[in-house]
Amino acid sequence: MTDPIIRIQKLDKSFGTLQVLDGLSFEVKPGEKLALIGPSGSGKTTILRMLMTLETISGGRIEVCGEPLYHMTKGGREVPADEAHLHHMRRHIGMVFQHFNLFPHKSVLDNITLAPILTKGEPKAKAEAHAMELLDMVGLAEKAKAMPSQLSGGQKQRVAIARALALKPRIMLFDEVTSALDPELVEEVLLVMKRLAAETDMTMLLVTHEMGFAHEFADRVLFFDKGRIVEEGPPDRIFTNPTHERTQTFLRKII
């Protein structure tokens, strides 16, 4: 059996007195496409942010590619590792956010090449050649010289996907990537993600309210409520025959 690429064990997360994740455990196999669904506030985005080391953990353990994301102190608590370790671990993971977060004063091409040049020391010509391949993949090769302000929301999000891919991550995290888009722009972004899922062996974790898309995209669906996994399984079963009452209520409301 292959080792999991992500292993989350008894993970706790609190913001002040608010407990957001409550002893959460799950594993992800290399290449798996996972959809995280559930009511707002159930902790889905927090999990992605913790994997991206954008949040500290309150207890438990996260391993990515067999290595702990956080270091254990003598007192038995895990704390953020030093910058060098975080830098090393972040190279495994790319994340696409709800609000694209492109650099507004950089061209599309520069947005994509900046990290490979600065963090991996890639030569400019090589980074640009790779960026052009990625832009071609997301259908935006002709926009390489454009500025973000000249793009539609759907185009910005496709650039953000290309930018996350530029560091060749083994794991991609997508956080509500279509929820800030006008409805007519959603499809073009989903299409790119579908192609990515079908054509690459990257591991992908998707937080979404687009249940139709989650059904098509995912190998496995995790349903969250109050910082715990209430139910999980293949999309066909979760969407057509959920066993837990909370999953049934949620899906009745949203579909």
Out of 15, 71, 168, 182, point to the residue binding ligand ADP (CB under 6 A): 15
The structure tokens listed for 137 are 């993949």
Closest CA to 70 of 23, 19, 12: 12
Q: Find residue 134's DSSP bridge partners.
A: none
The structure tokens listed for 159 are 């650039």
Choice between 155 and 208, CB closer to ligand ADP: 208
What x-and-dash track marks residues 121-140 binding ligand ADP by CB under 6 A?
A: --------------------
Beta strand pairing status for 203-207 and 6-15?
unpaired
55 vs 132: CA distance, rounded Å: 32
Which amino acid is residue 226, in one-letter code? K
Q: How far is CA 192 from the centre of its chain?
A: 15
Query: Is 157 near ligand ADP (CB under 6 A)?
Result: no
Out of 28, 34, 46, 158, point to the residue binding ligand ADP (CB under 6 A): 46
Out of 30, 31, 41, 139, point to the residue binding ligand ADP (CB under 6 A): 41
Query: Is 111 near ligand ADP (CB under 6 A)?
Result: no
Interaction residues for ligand ADP, span 173-212 (CB under 6 A)? 207
The H or E element spanning position 40 is none
The structure tokens listed for 76 are 């038995």
Name the one range near ligand ADP by CB under 6 A: 12-20, 24-32, 119-127, 179-187.
Answer: 12-20
- In the complex, the smallest distance separating the C-beta of residue 15 from ligand ADP, rounded to whole angstroms, is 3
Binding site for ligand ADP (CB under 6 A): 15, 18, 20, 38, 40-46, 207
